[in-house]
Amino acid sequence: MSSSDRHSHNPGLWSSQRTYRPFIISSLCVALTLGFTTGAAIIFFRLLDIDLGTAWPTHTQSHGMAQILGWAGLFVMGLGFHIVPRIRNSSIKFPWPQRCVLTFMIVAIISRFLGQTVTSFSINNPLLAVSAISLALGLGIFSLFVGATLLKGRARHRLPELWIAASTGWAIVVAGLDLMIAYRMIDSNSVIVPSAIGKLFIEAALIGFISNFIFGISLQVVPSFLNLPPARLRLNGVSLVCINTGIGIIILTLAKDFSNWWLFAGVVFKTVGFLIYILSLRLYSRKMSPGKYIVNVYRRFEWYLQSAYFWLLIGGMLQVWKLIGDLYSPIGPPTSLGAPTIHVVGLGFITIMIIGMSTRMLPMFEAALLPLHGLLDVILILINLSVASRLIAGIIRFDLAWTVLALSGSFGTLSITLFGLVVWKLLRRSSRQEYIELTRYKVKLKTFE
């Protein structure tokens, strides 16, 4: 038996490897280079009336790819490889699937960014092809091994696993759509993603792949983390059907150019699903009891989660409002500057959820003390200011709209930079040593009492 096979059949060994670390580090590196910083920079260029020409759409689109699949996607994949085997009380093959997925995803993201933004050399088409193939391989291997792990174990399958299974299914759809995007761009010798298929890609990736995964993990851990009443599972199952039916209708409508009424129906299905999910999770319910906090737990963890799901619902309602405006313009939003719906969901829901869940999960995985609690409070304020200012500038006409968008980008970039600092300190050996010393002290103190 090979070393890799021995590892994959030894739960104690694979679980001690912390395979999520390189994914999280890579995720933050992408966010702080090609993601948040690039997005903020191009807004400042626009604010200063600097004509970017075709660089505006190419940098905007490649920035979006880096944010969705680089920042959020890599983070979700890293946690997925670590969490899913624990949900099934099973093991997962390692290390080659994780290494392959991470390598392919990084190659895909960098190749797409360079393939769209570097136009001075005749390398765009090869880079776009490499990006699409690498992304298909990365998402395919991830879906294959996470899906196979979901089928392991003798325990009865539960609702969180259905959410994660839906996520892996949409990941395959994302890979297929990206291959279509690359083919059309290469065929037309263009570096700009066609608008229609770009919308399909964003819907499948942002809601289908990433959000479904977050919904599954939230259902699995949030009620126990926050000492909430048990989730309403039947209601949660209804939300699973509504959200994924809505995504399917939206994608089919955009792909087949159906009537806007079908698009409206899909968005309503999805938004109603968001509302039902929040009600089923009972996130805003009173706690059953105060509960006992674990060592050095971040006490405003629930504020992150509550604000994230608030923004999710706002994002859904904003998309409904926009489509009402498309059908009957007098009652639609006054403007739609800077893709406010995408940023409310991507920044307001997904990014805040990633940061919030990390404050609880990473210290558990690392057996380390979470540092800089005060800084996490600042991050919570900054990220919510970023979302709120993005929303205001995106839907209200006023002279300083681009200035407010620039402030939003600055707040977002600063918040992720500070979060990166928190993660860097958390992953250091000193944080684990501090946790060991503190727990020993607590045990001695309890014994003395």
CA pair distance 89, 83, nearest whole angstrom: 10
CA pair distance 342, 215, nearest whole angstrom: 18
Phi/psi zone of residue 257: left (φ > 0), alpha (ψ -120 to 50 degrees), beta? left
CA pair distance 257, 8, nearest whole angstrom: 46
- Both tokens of 132, joined, read 């699409």
Burial of 86 (0-12, 13-18, 19+ CB in 10 A): middle
CA pair distance 297, 320, nearest whole angstrom: 38
Helix (H) or strand (E) holding 437: helix 429-448
- Per-residue pLDDT of the chain in tens (449 residues, 90 and over written 9): 444 444 444 444 655 678 899 999 999 999 999 999 999 998 988 888 887 777 888 989 999 999 999 999 999 999 999 999 989 888 888 889 999 999 999 999 999 999 999 876 678 899 999 999 999 999 999 999 999 999 987 778 899 999 999 999 999 999 999 999 999 999 998 889 988 899 999 999 999 999 999 999 999 999 988 889 999 999 999 999 999 999 999 999 999 888 889 999 999 999 999 999 999 999 998 877 665 555 578 889 999 999 999 999 999 999 999 989 888 877 878 878 888 999 999 999 999 999 999 999 999 898 888 999 999 999 999 999 999 999 999 999 988 999 999 999 999 999 999 999 999 999 998 887 887 777 665 544 444 44
pLDDT value of residue 16: 64
pLDDT value of residue 81: 93
Query: Is the bond leading into 126 cis (omega within 30 degrees of zero)?
Result: no
- Burial profile 169-203: b = 16 or more Cβ within 10 angstroms, e = fewer: bbbbbbbbbbeebbeebbeeebbebeeebbbbbbb
Written as one letter, the residue type at 429 is R
Virtual CA dihedral for 365, 369, 374, 375, nearest 10 degrees? -60
pLDDT value of residue 24: 97
Burial of 328 (0-12, 13-18, 19+ CB in 10 A): exposed
Dihedral over Cα of 22, 23, 24, 25: its sign: positive
pLDDT value of residue 6: 43
Burial of 286 (0-12, 13-18, 19+ CB in 10 A): exposed
CA pair distance 391, 311, nearest whole angstrom: 10
pTM comes to: 0.92
Q: In angstroms, how far is CA 401 from the centroid of its own chain? A: 27
pLDDT value of residue 291: 55
pLDDT value of residue 3: 42
Place of tokens 């995803």: 105
- Both tokens of 282, joined, read 């009972």
Phi/psi zone of residue 298: left (φ > 0), alpha (ψ -120 to 50 degrees), beta? beta
Q: In angstroms, how far is CA 139 from the centroid of its own chain? A: 14
pLDDT value of residue 184: 93
CA pair distance 162, 152, nearest whole angstrom: 14
Which one, of 222, 250, 254, 248, lies nearest residue 236 by Cα?
Answer: 222
For 8-43, the DSSP string reads HT-HHHHHTT-THHHHHHHHHHHIIIIIHHHHHHHH
Give the ranges where 17-158 is alpha helix by DSSP (H): 20-30, 36-47, 55-65, 73-87, 96-117, 124-150
**Cβ(39)–Cβ(11) under 8 Å?**
no
CA pair distance 371, 424, nearest whole angstrom: 10
Which one, of 66, 70, 92, lies nearest residue 80 by Cα?
Answer: 92
CA pair distance 395, 339, nearest whole angstrom: 9
Q: What is the pLDDT of residues 358-374, one digit of tens each?
A: 999 999 898 888 999 99
Virtual CA dihedral for 169, 172, 173, 174, nearest 10 degrees? 120
pLDDT value of residue 1: 40
**Cβ(216)–Cβ(164) under 8 Å?**
yes
pLDDT value of residue 438: 72
Helix (H) or strand (E) holding 401: helix 401-426
